[in-house]
Structure 1
Amino acid sequence: MNSQEIPAGAPCWIDLMTSDIAKSRDFYAALFGWSYEVGDQEMYGGYTMAFKDGKSVAGLMQSQENGEGYPDMWTTYLRVDDIEATMAAAKNAGAIAYMEPMNVPEQGKMAMLGDPSGASIGLWEFGGHTGFQSHEENGAAAWHELHSKDYPAAVSFYHDVFGVDTSVMSDTPEFRYTNLVDGEKELAGIMDAAGFLPDQMPSNWQIYFQTDDVDATIAKALTLGATIINAAEDSPYGRIAGLSDCTGAMFKLVQPPA
Structure 2
Amino acid sequence: MPVHEESFAAGTPCWADVMVDDLQGARDFYGGLFGWTFEDLPPEAGGYVMALKDGHAVAGAMARSSTDPSQVNAWTVYLASDDVDETAEQARSAGGVFFLEPMDVLQVGRIAVGADPAGAAYGLWQAREHTGADLVDEPGTLAWAESMSRDYPTSKAFYAGVFGYELQEIGDAAFSYSVATLDGERPVAGIGAIPAQAPADVRSHWMAYFAVADCAASAEQVRTLGGTVLQQPSDTRYGRVAVVAGPQGETFAVLQRAAASRD
Whether these two folds match at TM > 0.5 is yes
- Alignment equivalent of 2:16, drawn from 3, 14, 17: 14
2:103 corresponds in structure 1 to 102
Gaps of 5+ in 2: none
1:180 corresponds in structure 2 to 180
CA distance in 1: counterparts of 2:33 and 2:200, whole angstroms: 32
Q: Shift of the alpha carbon at 1:3? A: 4.4
CA distance in 2: counterparts of 1:175 and 1:234, whole angstroms: 15
Contact persistence 1:150–1:194 (CA under 8 A): no
Alignment of 1:199-238 (within 5 A): 199-238=200-239
The runs of 4+ residues in structure 1 deviating greater than 4 Å are none
Contact persistence 1:136–1:143 (CA under 8 A): no
Gaps of 5+ in 1: none
RMSD over equivalenced CA pairs, Å:
1.3
1:51 corresponds in structure 2 to 52
CA distance in 2: counterparts of 1:105 and 1:5, whole angstroms: 18
- Alignment equivalent of 1:39, drawn from 38, 41, 51: 41
- The alignment status of 1:111 with 2:112, answered yes or no, reads yes
Residue-by-residue CA offset, 1:97-141 (whole Å, 9 max, x unaligned): 111001101111100111011100100011111010112210111
What amino acid does structure 1 have at the position aligned with 2:61? Answer: L
CA distance in 1: counterparts of 2:157 and 2:89, whole angstroms: 16
SS at match of 2:6: helix
Contact persistence 2:7–2:132 (CA under 8 A): no
- The alignment status of 1:64 with 2:69, answered yes or no, reads no
CA distance in 1: counterparts of 2:136 and 2:255, whole angstroms: 13
Contact persistence 1:147–1:205 (CA under 8 A): yes
CA distance in 2: counterparts of 1:91 and 1:168, whole angstroms: 26
CA distance in 2: counterparts of 1:11 and 1:5, whole angstroms: 11
Contact persistence 1:208–1:251 (CA under 8 A): yes
Residue-by-residue CA offset, 1:64-89 (whole Å, 9 max, x unaligned): 11133532100000001111111111
- The alignment status of 1:24 with 2:26, answered yes or no, reads yes
Q: Which moved more, 1:157-166 or 1:240-249?
A: 157-166
What amino acid does structure 2 have at the position aligned with 1:34? Answer: W
